[in-house]
């Protein structure tokens, strides 16, 4: 039976909603603020044909759990549907009954599960809806979600219209780009970003540990997670923007203690580094060590990439061999990255003399550039600086300053252009143990607005406007000799010199 008239929601009380959001989630102040704004408007205008909420962010940052909190705050039922891999329109809108094995669509099934007509209905992975010969599920979704038309949603199986206008739809996505345009237009996008180590620590102490202890049937008297131990897990056993695998790992440790208790050992377990290693095996993630090791030779630079799971470091490598001026590009690179590589090479070639690279080097060598396992599905243009630096390092034989990562796009004349995803990239750099980052000068605002002091603690940020400035940070020895050459060779410098002598 469908809940044609049954509702569950009480009137929205904003202070209470705030309290519930605050008890369930650490920080996320801006996000909670926008949710409360949204709910306030709904309170004042219950029939509002408002936008659909959409939480966008990497896995494990709290999108689903915020949705649950909202339902709790509103006293409404919560239902969830994953749209990942839905290709068929009929999955949304149902089959006609003449079809063998016909079923109502997922939306109506969800309403049936909710048993009320006004649940909080979460549609996960709206960025992973496919489309093929079986029709376009996005347009069926639009009919269900669009406040302008969903008061008379027609499911093919039901064959009568159902009023979805009381449902509070919340969608979630890892990425914004793949969402169909007409859907995106009707959404109020709320972005959630990754957490820093400190934030993860707070979340673990306040939420994850108590929850996992409870879920695994033990008590706070039987296990203790000191801060140091949690930090150790965060740093060496998880590399993620959110806290999902952190929570899972804490769960694993709790289960081991549950087993010990079940086997008759009664003493309290204080989790230490040794215990963690015993339970989880050796360190899973090498951080500073890996970066130092891999950048030991000239021609390897550390780049920063935006990924749907919250940013990562990537290594750009270059090598040269005897040849005839060829240029090969390999690795996980898309069109945009190839163009960045070309631009970087062009810049380096056109500045070869100042950089101290032999004039005929390019004629009798082949250059190979490679980005190992830079698993970036959609590579924004942001690696130009990294690539140019890699090439200069290779061709001058100087290794790049250790524990330095960089991002920025370049023009052929050597200017550095701003790039996206700064917060994610900076957090990724910190997770990887980097101590210096090079960012485009025009991104300074993003750092100041999106990152807290705590998040950039122990990290030196170098803002640059040109590749020359970037090289001064990454390859000081090269930059010095370049500056010296520039002084003696540029027409202006020659003029100055002549003038001074006169
Ligand atoms: N700020 C926070 N405070 C407290 N707990 C949090 C916070 N952020 C995330 N969590 C917890 O982390 C876990 C993972 O979060 P959740 O399932 O909501 O992730 P998600 O954003 O929906 O990820 P996905 O994109 O993979 O679906 C949950 O147990 C959630 O309660
Ligand atoms: Mg989720």
Do residues 241 and 338 share a domain? no
Catalytic residue among 69, 382, 393, 474: 382
| pLDDT of 501 | 47
pLDDT tens-digit profile, the chain (502 residues): 788 777 776 677 888 889 999 998 988 888 899 899 888 888 787 777 778 899 999 899 999 999 999 999 888 899 999 988 788 888 888 888 887 778 888 999 999 998 998 899 999 999 888 766 667 788 888 888 888 888 888 888 888 888 888 889 999 998 888 888 888 888 899 988 888 888 899 999 999 999 999 999 999 899 999 999 999 998 888 878 899 999 999 999 999 999 989 888 888 888 988 889 888 887 766 556 778 888 889 999 999 988 777 788 888 999 999 988 899 988 877 788 888 899 999 999 999 998 988 878 888 999 999 887 654 555 556 889 999 999 999 999 999 999 999 999 999 999 999 998 898 899 889 888 899 999 999 999 999 988 888 888 889 999 999 999 999 999 998 878 776 666 554 444 444 444 444 4
Same domain, 204 and 117: no
Q: What is the pLDDT of residue 285?
A: 65
156 with 235, same domain: the answer is no
Clarify whether residues 273 and 310 are in a common domain.
Answer: no
Atom of ligand 1 minimally distant from the CA of 174: 25
On whether both 46 and 155 belong to a single domain, the answer is: yes
Distance CA 52, CA 41 (A): 13
Instruction: State the pLDDT at residue 486.
Output: 60
**pLDDT at position 382, please?**
84
Q: How far is the CA of 386 from the centre of ligand 1 (A)?
A: 33
Cβ 111 vs Cβ 5: under 8 Å = no
- Quick check: CB of 247 below 6 Å from ligand 1? yes
pLDDT given at position 287: 59
Q: Evaluate whether residue 343 is within a structural domain.
A: yes
* Residues 321 and 352 placed together within one structural domain of the fold: yes
Q: How many domains does the chain have?
A: 3
Residue whose Cα lies nearest atom 11 of ligand 1: it is 62
Expressed in angstroms and rounded, the spacing between residue 61 Cα and the centre of ligand 1 is: 4
Q: Is residue 311 part of a domain?
A: yes
pTM of the model: 0.73
Task: For residues 338 and 239, state if they share a domain.
Answer: no
| Residues lying with their CB under 5 A of ligand 2, a single-atom ion | 64
Which of 250, 280, 310 is at the close of a domain?
A: 280
> Which of 127, 161, 191 is the last residue before a domain boundary?
191
DSSP output for 438-453:
EEEGGGHHHHHHH--T
Residue nearest to atom 10 of ligand 1 (CA): 62
DSSP 194: P
**301 and 244 fall within a common domain:** no
Identify the CATH number of the domain in which residue 230 sits.
Answer: 1.10.8.60
Active site residue 196: no
Indicate whether 366 and 414 sit together in one domain: yes
The CATH number assigned to the domain holding 305 equals 3.30.230.10
Q: 498 in a domain, yes or no?
A: no
Q: Is residue 385 part of a domain?
A: yes
- Angstrom CA distances, 310 to 41, 61, 71, 293, 422, stand at 31, 10, 27, 24, 10
CATH, residue 33: 3.40.50.300
The verdict on the CB of residue 60 being under 6 Å from ligand 1 is: yes
Q: Residue with the nearest Cα to atom 19 of ligand 1?
A: 60
Domain ranges, residue 208:
197-280
Supply the pLDDT for residue 405: 95
Q: How far is the CA of 244 from the centre of ligand 1 (A)?
A: 7
425 is catalytic: yes
Q: Residue 77: left (phi > 0), alpha (psi -120 to 50), or beta?
A: beta
Judge if the beta carbon of residue 194 lies within 6 A of ligand 1: no
- Token look-up 């020359």 returns 468
In this prediction, residue 91 carries a pLDDT of 87
Find where tokens 């945009």 sit. Answer: 336
164 inside domain: yes
Q: Which two three-digit tokens encode residue 303? A: 């780049």
Q: Is residue 495 part of a domain?
A: no
- Is residue 215 situated within a structural domain? yes
Shared domain for 73 and 54, answered yes or no, is: yes
Q: Are both 107 and 207 inside the same structural domain?
A: no
Q: Whose CA is nearest to atom 8 of ligand 1?
A: 62
Domain final residue, candidates 135, 156, 191: 191
263 shares a domain with 297: no
């Amino acid at each position: 039976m469908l809940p044609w008239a049954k509702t569950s929601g009480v009137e929205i009380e904003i202070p209470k909603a705030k309290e519930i959001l605050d008890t369930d989630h650490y920080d996320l102040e801006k996000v909670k603020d926008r949710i409360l704004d949204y709910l306030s408007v709904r309170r004042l205008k219950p029939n509002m044909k408002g936008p659909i909420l959409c939480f966008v962010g990497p896995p494990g940052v709290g999108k689903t759990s915020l949705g649950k909190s909202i339902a709790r705050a509103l006293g409404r039922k919560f239902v969830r549907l994953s749209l990942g891999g839905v290709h068929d329109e009929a999955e949304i809108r149902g089959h006609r009954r003449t079809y063998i094995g016909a079923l109502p669509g997922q939306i109506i099934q969800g309403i049936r599960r909710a048993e009320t007509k006004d649940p909080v209905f979460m549609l996960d992975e709206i960025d992973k809806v496919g489309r093929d010969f079986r029709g376009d599920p996005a347009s069926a979704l639009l009919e269900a979600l669009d406040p302008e038309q969903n008061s008379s949603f027609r499911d093919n199986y039901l064959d009568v219209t159902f009023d979805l206008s009381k449902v509070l739809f919340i969608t979630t996505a890892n990425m914004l780009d793949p969402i169909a345009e007409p859907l995106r237009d009707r959404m109020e996008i709320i972005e959630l970003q990754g957490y820093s180590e400190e934030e993860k620590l707070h979340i673990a102490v306040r939420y994850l540990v108590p929850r996992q202890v409870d879920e695994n049937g033990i008590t706070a008297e039987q296990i203790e997670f000191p801060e140091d131990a949690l930090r150790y897990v965060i740093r060496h056993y998880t590399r993620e923007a959110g806290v999902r695998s952190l929570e899972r790992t804490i769960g694993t440790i709790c289960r081991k203690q549950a087993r010990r208790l079940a086997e008759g050992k009664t003493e309290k377990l204080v989790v230490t580094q040794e215990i963690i290693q015993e339970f989880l095996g050796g360190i899973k993630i090498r951080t500073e060590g890996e970066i130092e090791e891999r950048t030991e030779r000239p021609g390897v630079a550390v780049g920063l990439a935006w990924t749907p799971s919250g940013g990562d470091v990537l290594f750009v490598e270059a090598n040269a061999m005897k040849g005839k001026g060829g240029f090969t590009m390999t690795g996980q690179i898309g069109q945009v990255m190839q163009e960045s590589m070309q631009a970087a090479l062009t810049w380096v070639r056109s500045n070869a003399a100042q950089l101290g690279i032999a004039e005929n080097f390019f004629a009798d060598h082949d250059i190979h550039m490679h980005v190992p396992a830079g698993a970036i599905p959609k590579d924004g243009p942001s690696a130009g600086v990294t690539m140019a630096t890699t090439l200069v390092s290779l061709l001058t034989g100087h290794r790049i300053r250790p524990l330095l990562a960089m991002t920025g796009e370049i023009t052929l004349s050597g200017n550095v252009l701003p790039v996206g995803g700064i917060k994610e990239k900076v957090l990724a750099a910190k997770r990887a143990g980097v101590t210096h980052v090079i960012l485009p000068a025009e991104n300074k605002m993003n750092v100041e607005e999106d990152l807290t002091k705590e998040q950039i603690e122990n990290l030196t940020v170098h803002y640059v406007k040109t590749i020359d400035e970037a090289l001064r940070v990454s390859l000081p020895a090269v930059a010095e000799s370049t500056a010296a050459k520039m002084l003696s060779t540029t027409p202006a410098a020659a003029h100055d010199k002549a003038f001074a002598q006169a």
